[in-house]
């Protein structure tokens, strides 16, 4: 049985890329996070990525780190992540992005079961290698949860084949070597990486790290199946005078990005 995420990609694959919006659970508050999710979807985001706030985020830039630190200071834990996922999944296909340590602490089998029980489609695990994935593979298979691994421009072709063979839902293609954050221009490595991934798998590919404008989203949508945006949304809230103003800015940005991805 396919997940809502897989169904979404199947529906749009020959028409356009999808827009995936990211927000850490509990940012800027537990209720505020849900409001951001709604604002993104109202603006045209097709899928949601709920971040599991973590104290040692190796892939996250300063914007998301600050948001995660605020969420942690609000006492956000696994249950809050699952609550945010459950809410998001009532609106659009949704996944969790988490480092491996929180999964291990919660219990690998229990984590996969909870994702499924809350209506989630899958989990992005940026620091989990396929060599250390045997238990995760078994439990996600059992729970019907998509395993979303991250590949980068430095990933050699032989390894791309091995990683993508264990991936489902989509492949997360990091557009460059570095951390998350908005950028003025996108790396040319992203298009080349997507091309290399397409040589070894038919699984959809979504590009993240650096997309923040409609023109950048349109550029990525020319060669990828999905466009992931996180820091740009979070920044709108961080820089706003009030949460209400931030939510309006999030909806506006989502509408601009959605228009961008639909230009293919």
Domain with 234 in it: what CATH number? 3.20.20.70
pLDDT number for residue 195? 95
The single residue listed with the structure tokens 């961008």 is: 260
Could you list the active site residues?
49, 60
Contact 205, 183 (CB under 8 A): no
Q: pTM for this structure? A: 0.94
Q: How many domains does the chain have?
A: 1
Q: What is the mean pLDDT of residues 161-188?
A: 73
| pLDDT at residue 137 tops 80 | yes
| pLDDT at residue 233 tops 50 | yes
| Domain range enclosing 178 | 4-261
Q: Name 245's Cβ contacts closer than 8 Å, sequence gap at least 6.
A: none
pLDDT number for residue 185? 47
Q: CA angle, 58 as apex, 167 and 112 as ends, to 5°? A: 40
**CA-based nearest residue to 146, from 161, 136, 132:** 136
| pLDDT at residue 178 tops 60 | no
Mean pLDDT taken over the chain: 92
Q: What is the mean pLDDT of residues 98-117?
A: 97
């Amino acid at each position: 049985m396919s997940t809502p995420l897989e169904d979404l990609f199947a529906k749009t694959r020959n028409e356009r890329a999808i827009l995936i919006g990211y927000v850490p659970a509990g940012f800027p508050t537990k209720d505020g996070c849900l409001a951001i999710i709604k604002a993104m979807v109202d603006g045209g985001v097709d899928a949601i990525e709920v971040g599991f706030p973590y104290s040692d985020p190796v892939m996250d830039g300063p914007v998301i780190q600050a948001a995660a630190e605020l969420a942690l200071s609000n006492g956000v834990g696994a249950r809050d992540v699952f609550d945010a996922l459950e809410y998001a999944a009532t609106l659009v296909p949704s996944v969790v992005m988490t480092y491996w340590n929180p999964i291990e602490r919660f219990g690998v089998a229990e984590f996969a079961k909870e994702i499924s029980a809350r209506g989630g489609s899958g989990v992005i695990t940026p620091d989990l290698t396929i060599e250390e994935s045997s238990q995760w593979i078994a439990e996600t298979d059992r729970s019907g949860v998509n395993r979303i691994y991250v590949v980068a421009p430095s990933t050699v072709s032989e390894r791309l084949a091995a990683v993508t063979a264990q991936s489902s839902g989509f492949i997360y293609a990091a557009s460059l070597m570095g951390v998350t954050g908005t950028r003025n221009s996108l790396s040319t490595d992203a298009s080349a990486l997507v091309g290399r991934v397409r040589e070894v798998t038919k699984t959809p590919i979504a590009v993240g790290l650096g997309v923040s404008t409609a023109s950048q989203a349109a550029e990525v949508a020319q060669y990828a199946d999905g466009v992931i945006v996180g820091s740009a949304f979070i920044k709108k809230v961080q820089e706003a005078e009030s949460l209400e103003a931030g939510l309006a800015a999030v909806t506006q940005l989502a509408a601009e990005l959605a228009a961008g991805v639909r230009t293919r």
